[in-house]
Amino acid sequence: METVKLTVDNKKIEVPKGTTIYKAARKLGIDIPVLCYMDLADLNIEHKPGGCRICSVEVEGRRNLAPSCSTEVFDGMVVKTHSMRVLNARKTVMELILSDHPKDCLICPKSGNCDLQNLAIKLGIRETPYQEFSEMSTYRKDFSPSIIRDMDKCIMCRRCETMCNEFQTVGALSAVNRGFNSVVAPAFEMDLEDSPCTYCGQCVAVCPTGALTEVDHTNQLIEDLSNPAKTVIVQTAPAVRAALGEEFGMEPGTLVTGKMVTALRRLGFNYIFDTDFAADLTIMEEGTELLDRLNRHLKGDKDVKLPILTSCCPGWVNFFEQQFTDLLDVPSTARSPQQMFGAIAKTFFADRIKVAREDLVVVSIMPCLAKKYECQRDEFKVNGNPDVDYSISTRELAHLIKRANMDLNNMPEEDFDQPLGESSGAGVIFGATGGVIEAAVRTAYEIYTKKKLDRVDFKQLRGMEGIRHANVDFNGLEVNIGIAHGLGNARKLLEDVRNGISQFHAIEIMACPGGCIGGGGQPLHHGNLSILQKRMEAIYREDAGKPIRKSHENPYIIKLYEEFLGKPMSEKAHHLLHTHYIDKSKKIIYMK
């Protein structure tokens, strides 16, 4: 490998040719401040538009300052990262950026977690001298069911665009207009709701300021919890327990299941249930559907649609409803675990505790922003009353726990309530990429072969690679399985399905990197895949520690079918646990 020798702040270093000044300096322990720059190395995304100029440094022999994030080193280069000229320029750049940025930090949702704020502190900015020369540019706020766009706070770093276009290939966002009027917006500046946005929330996860934030339901929740007329129950998604601890300073990968349950109980929820229970239920329905399609296919039925695609991820559902409308009959019709839980809670459980549907508030804690939209879909309402009233993110829950003067670190561990709190290990692994299909295989294998599995761990389905495939031997029948996480990866598998060349019987798709553990509502991982890896290990650890590992052996699931649903894909199950998909492509074409 060709290398280059250079000097940064009087320190010598040798780096591979093509390295940027910024990265060379980091190797020396010199932390040049950046703002628009984003390095998601593990996801192969390096966003270096060189737009903000905060990272400018002095290069000997060069007339102007160089943006270190996007300037490659050369042999003999001499760099100064903190000369007076650099410090002055950096301060001026920051003052100019702040001259068109609101100063309402006290009440900004990003306060305390804002890259711009942290940078202003680091650079010691105490005044904004350019303020008086112009009025600040303003732009209408855009409220979608999941994400709020407040473009007054946009600094045009365009990180969101990179996530939306390059990683997710959704193409909802682009920089539009110019000068002070420039913002990141959907085509024709329509609302996010009318754009191809899937609400995956990856833009929110990388936004350095309060320009993109989630819709916050915590105040609604506090109101409901303090209303004696309401019975408030909660379900927690598998990925939440593997990440919530990070917000309380715990090591990534710390499992806080029991502590989280205690905190929720102390917050005042009447019943603490688990989305994992509904994940087991999803496997019963989706697994049965998979076997049904497989059997028909083996019997030579030409109308049967294979591969079957998982349908638990609402970001993914939004994606194919917008961009693969010719394949609407391919995904499983099974509702997501969140919605299955809601449907059972507001029928079976409401009945059992004799509470009217309207007086039962079902709240979900999700690693996801798309879930906020999903629970508002009309298909999941009865007479206008939603099965799941609203969803709050892992970040919102952490904030609420702190607001209630609790620290998860000192929390004793308690158990979920019954009957909707029991889950198998199969339900837990829904939180990681490959988990849903592994859970489905555990059940489908035993039903299809009528044999007990010796080993329930299908390690060939696990991992972090964006697209994976594996074969599972169903006693002589080879089942081909595809897995993708990230919508850009999903698109590749989908195009094969569209072109009729897909070799898979079943495909699992998750919109976010790593699956739900890397969801848009999780504690920010800043593209550090080792954090996701640790969350993933935590999920599999919880699975391995469960006495029951297969969904169809969950005793409360068995009972639910006996007492209420009949059997998987029964008429009642269809009514409550399955859904249909809607062609939303027109929404891209015509705006309001």
Nearer to other proteins, 304 or 588 (CB): 588
Distance of CA 390 to the CA centre of its chain: 17
379 is known as an active-site residue: yes
Tokens of 75: 């042999």
Which residue's structure tokens are 């309207």?
Answer: 358
Helices (H), 32-122: 84-99, 115-122
Q: Which residues are bridge partners to 484 per DSSP? A: 467, 509
Phi, psi angles (nearest 5°) of residue 255: -85, 130
- Euclidean distance between CA atoms 396 and 394, whole angstroms: 5
Which of 187/355 has CB closer to other proteins?
A: 187
Residue 174: CB minimum distance to other proteins, A: 4
Question: Does residue 289 have an active-site annotation?
Answer: yes
Q: What is the closest distance, in whole angstroms, from the C-beta atom of residue 277 to other proteins in the complex?
A: 39
Query: Based on CB atoms, which residue is closest to other proteins, 175 or 453?
Result: 175
Complex with other proteins: residue 128 or 165, whichever CB lies closer: 165
Q: Which is the catalytic residue, given 195, 311, 332, 364? A: 332
Q: Radius of gyration of the chain from Cα atoms?
A: 25
Reply yes or no on whether 189 is catalytic: no
Active-site residue, from 289, 422, 446, 542:
289
For residue 419, say if its preceding peptide bond is cis, omega within 30 degrees of 0.
yes
Scanning the structure block, which residue is given the tokens 């003067």? 405
Q: What angle do CA 21, 207, 374 make, to 5 degrees?
A: 145
Catalytic hit among 223, 379, 465, 495:
379
In angstroms, what is the minimal distance from the CB of 172 to other proteins?
A: 6
What's the start-to-end Cα distance of the chain, in Å? Answer: 55
CA distance 258 to 262: 6
CA distance 439 to 420: 18
Report how far Cα 481 is from the mean position of its chain's Cα atoms: 23
User: What is the SS3 assignment for 565?
Assistant: helix
Least gap, CB of 52 to other proteins (angstroms)? 18
Asked if omega into 523 is within 30° of 0 (cis), the reply is no
Contacts of 544 by beta carbon, 8 Å cutoff, 6+ apart: 425, 457
Contact between 146 and 369 (Cβ < 8 Å): yes
CB nearer other proteins, residue 9 or residue 191: 191
Q: Is 371 tagged catalytic?
A: yes
Inter-CA distances, 177 with 170, 182, 184, 207, 582, Å: 21, 5, 9, 20, 33
Residue 386, classed as helix, strand or coil, is strand
Inter-residue contact 280 to 423 (CB < 8 Å): yes
Q: Which residues, in sequence order, are bridge partners of residue 390?
A: 363
What backbone phi and psi angles, to 5 degrees, belong to 254?
-75, 125
286 among known catalytic residues? yes
Beta carbon nearer to other proteins, 382 or 591: 591
Identity of the amino acid at 111 = S
φ/ψ (deg, to 5) at 188: 60, 20
Give which of 393, 391, 49 is closest to 205, Cα–Cα: 393
Binding site for other proteins (CB under 8 A): 165, 171-178, 185-190, 195-196, 588-591
Catalogue the active-site residues.
286, 289, 312, 332, 371, 374, 379, 516
